[in-house]
Chain A
Amino acid sequence: MQRSFRCGIAALLIFMTNACVTAPVKPLTVSEHAFGQTEDEKKLIQTAAKADAELHSRGVVLQDAQINAYIRGIAERLIPPGTADAVPFHFYVARDPVVNAFALPNGSIYLYVGLLARLENEAQLAHVLSHEIAHVVQRHSLQSSRNRRATIVAANVADLLLFGTSIAYLPAIGSLAGHSRESEAEADRLALEYMSRAGYPLEGAEQTFKLIQEVKQKESVWGSVYSSHPDNQQRAQATREIIASLGLATNAGSPNGAEKYLAIRGALLLENVRLKLNVRQYQLAVESAERALAQDPKSPWWHYYRGEAYLRMAEDPAGAAREDAWINDKTYNDDLVAEYRNKKQTLLASARQAYQESLGIDKSFAHAHRGLGLVAYAEGEKEAARKSLTYYLTHAKDITDRPYINNILGRLDSK
């Protein structure tokens, strides 16, 4: 009875505090928005500026004038009139293979390489940009911050009533990442309005959700707007309903900018696969390379990277097992690692085949020789390994892994 009473009080407090503190925030499209004038918003903007500085100092922001100008050009068509005077919008590409994008309250918008590699045309990119611009325009970060503060203070008080057992506190914390569903839905709706006004075909929005739907369960990060499968299905459905209810111009038949987008995206695909391999996403790297290969079958690089992914799976069964468990909701344990260890010869054979296919396109492609050399080394074929790795060192240009290869050649000589 006593416990029920305490729980009731706690729930009431959370409800009351939320209801009392979180007044609506005015969007930047109204003249009396007073952006950046309250202490809490100033603090948010400062924090965002620090995040910008850190991402830049870590070299995570892609420095490519052509890609940056392209994105900026699209974004300028989408930003609602007048709002750019209130907040300085900046658009960056983050060198990260995750499927994600986010907006900071100071107007900085980050698109991840992993996301750009999945999109197929400019209209889809316009949709992603519109969604993030809407978060800035509606000041969702400020709204989320105020909601969060109210929830945490209420949860702290409730926690005391529950004798500090954190029963109220932990669930409250768990629901705080990202924006609320209401904010996301609002950004989805406004994104369609921005796209429609800029003349982009609105089918791009639905295509984006469908594409993201195909993304492996956890390829996008928790808290990302693209992280939840059922949500994306519902959002695609909601898109159709919003278009109908608002009577938006769908711009059906307008150019979706696929050709230009794919030309720009080309450079990012290689970067995406390289980044995936560095975070031990081997299966996902194979899939990315195969998708790219379907569009660009003459490039030896895609076979090469397929080979790299198979080779690394063969050499890193624990990493391969961890990825398998992560993507396919399996249990990561010694048995799964043993499964990959037992597949070593098969994976090495797949790697060898991929490198040979690469050489089938360009027999002087030095990186494929490197790959064959490493497979031969793993198989104990000393002469073949020495020959292929030496070929790589003497023919490849601007290589960065000379110490690594020299070390292997040294081991071959000493064995």
Chain B
Amino acid sequence: MNSFIHRLLTGVAFIVVISIVSGCATMTPIRQHPDFANAARKVQTVAILPPDVEYLRIVFTGDNERQTDKEQTITQELQEGLETALKKKQYTLRPWLSDKQKEENRNASFDLQQVRTAYNEAAKQLFEKPTNEEESKNYRVSLGPVVNPVASLVNAEALLYVRYNGFEKSGGQQTKDIVAGALLGVLTGMVAVPAAEGSVLEVALIDGATGDVLWANRGGNQGPGGLGFRAPLMAENILTRLPGKDTAVASSDGNPAKTADSAAPAPAAK
């Protein structure tokens, strides 16, 4: 009986690994607007929205904690890394609001939050299904005019939305994972210990006038499309495949849009 379970678990593990590897070979996390070339040509100025960063410490007792100091450091590193990467692509950066500007525009925080919320909804559509390289250039998804107040406030033609989720495990939790992995290894003959830390970064370039998502990408630390382990490196790598200003027109594949499931215009504020 034990031998049967051993063979079964080993087989399942093998299939999962092969499926992941073969799947990743042709799939891409990049999503691009079908008319990216034309839209990007009109975009010269970009503002990086304050990154939405969450970093959690997972502990044995279950009292997981947000690491706010670490979140601040990561935020700073992401901003700097993304600024550098965008400048390399020939975009002109617009700074986010100063404290004084925020004071003068009391609704700015809420407007920003509305953009984040709208993007989170749009992302469900963007990343609903795995996509290959060819299909990845036919994503017509829009946030609508909810982006207008924010883009106007920072005087930018496009906004770069940034989301980062990370975790680290406490010593106790890591020990538990190692012991559990070893015990499972006795049964299956394979030792697999879950990672002690990890993170995912996602960015989206959004047209400040139409709300269309022009280009988006997301990735973790390892594997095909992996962005590396530290925030500055992840920030640099995630924009590697964003077509630069100088190549935007040339990069258009000219394919017609596969679907036109864009979000309709949002209502104007009363």
Give the B-binding residues of A (Cβ under 8 A). Answer: 40, 43, 47, 50, 57-60, 63, 95, 145, 148-149, 151-153, 156, 159-160, 163-165, 176, 270, 274, 277-280, 301, 304-305, 308, 311-319, 322, 337, 341, 367, 370, 374, 396, 398-407
Using known A-B contacts A279-B117, A400-B148, A404-B145, determine if residue A311 contacts B265 with beta carbons closer than 8 Å.
Answer: yes
Q: Which residue of A lies closest to B265 (CB)?
A: A374
Chain B residue numbers with a CB within 8 Å of A401 are 145, 148, 265-266, 268
Of B161-169, B207-215, B231-239, B250-258, the stretch lying at the interface with chain A is B207-215
A-B contact pairs, 17 of them (CB 8 A): A59-B110, A63-B106, A270-B270, A278-B117, A279-B121, A280-B263, A305-B267, A315-B265, A319-B125, A319-B261, A367-B270, A399-B268, A400-B268, A400-B269, A401-B148, A404-B148, A404-B211
Q: Which residue of A lies closest to B182 (CB)?
A: A164
CA distance A160 to B175 in the complex (A): 11
Determine how close the nearest CB of chain B comes to the CB of A225; give it in whole angstroms: 22
**Residue numbers in A under 8 Å from B108 (CB-CB):** 59
Complex interface bits, B165-183 against A, C-beta within 8 A gives 1, otherwise 0:
0000000000011011101
* Size category, B interface: 35 or more
Q: Are B61 and A316 in contact (CB under 8 A)?
A: no
Cα distance A401–B145 in the bound complex, in angstroms = 6
A sample of 13 more A-B contacts (CB under 8 A), given A60-B110, A401-B268, is A50-B68, A59-B109, A59-B112, A95-B110, A160-B179, A278-B118, A304-B267, A305-B267, A308-B266, A311-B265, A312-B264, A318-B261, A319-B125
The answer on a CB contact under 8 Å between A50 and B152 is no
Asked whether A277 lies within 8 Å of B267 as measured between CB atoms, the reply is: yes
Residues of B within 8 A of A145 (CB): 63
Q: Which of B60, B111, B152, B267 contacts A156 (CB 8 A)?
A: B60
Are B144 and A59 neighbours in the complex by a CB distance under 8 Å?
Answer: no
B193 to chain A, nearest CB (A): 9
Is the CB of B41 closer than 8 A to any CB of chain A?
no
Candidates B66, B144, B181, B268; contact of A164 at CB < 8 Å: B181
Kindly state the separation between the CA atoms of A160 and B111 in the bound complex, as whole angstroms.
Answer: 47
Q: How far is the CB of B247 from chain A (nearest CB, A)?
A: 24
Q: How far is the CB of A317 from chain B (nearest CB, A)?
A: 6
Q: Does B149 contact A (CB under 8 A)?
A: yes
Interface residues of B (CB under 8 A from A): 60-63, 65-66, 68, 106-114, 117-118, 121, 124-125, 144-146, 148-149, 151-152, 176-177, 179-181, 183-184, 186-187, 208-211, 259, 261-270
Distance between Cα atoms of A153 and B145 in the complex (Å)? 48
Inside 8 A of A301's CB, which chain B residues have their CB? 270
Which of B107, B112, B269 is within 8 Å of A274, CB to CB? B269
The residue that B62 contacts in the complex, of A59, A153, A277, A370, with Cβ under 8 A, is A153
- B184–A163 touching, CB < 8 Å: yes
Given A59-B111, A60-B113, A153-B60, the answer on whether A164 and B264 have CB atoms closer than 8 Å is no
Q: How far is the CB of B144 from chain A (nearest CB, A)?
A: 7
Q: For A279, what are the chain B residues with a Cβ–Cβ distance below 8 Å?
A: 117-118, 121
Q: In the complex, what residues of A have CB within 8 A of residue B261's CB?
A: 316-319, 337, 341
- Residue from A60, A153, A278, A314 having most chain B Cβ neighbours under 10 A: A278
What secondary structure prevails in chain B residues at the interface with A?
Answer: helix
Interchain residue pairs A-B with the least CB separation, the first 5: A164-B180, A315-B264, A59-B109, A59-B110, A152-B62
Instruction: Give the residues in chain B near A57, CB-CB below 8 Å.
Output: 109
What is the CB-to-nearest-CB distance from B118 to chain A, in angstroms, rounded to a whole number? 5
Known: A318-B261, A400-B268. A152 touches B61 (CB 8 A): yes
Select from chain A the residue with minimum beta-carbon distance to B143. A278
Q: How far is the CA of A165 from the CA of B112 in the complex (A)?
A: 42
Q: Which residues of A contact B268 (CB under 8 A)?
A: 367, 370, 396, 399-401
Are A164 and B179 within 8 A (Cβ)? yes
CB neighbours (8 Å) of B124 from chain A are: 322
- B264 near A311 with CB under 8 A, answer yes
CB-based contact A400/B149 at 8 Å:
yes
Q: Is the CB of A163 within 8 A of B110?
A: no
Which chain B residues border A156 with CB–CB below 8 Å?
Answer: 60, 176
**B264–A316 CB distance below 8 A:** yes
Q: B266 near A164 (CB under 8 angstroms)? A: no
Contact pick for B63, options A43, A403, A407, CB 8 Å: A43
Q: Is the CB of A160 within 8 A of B269?
A: no
Most buried by A among B65, B118, B261: B261
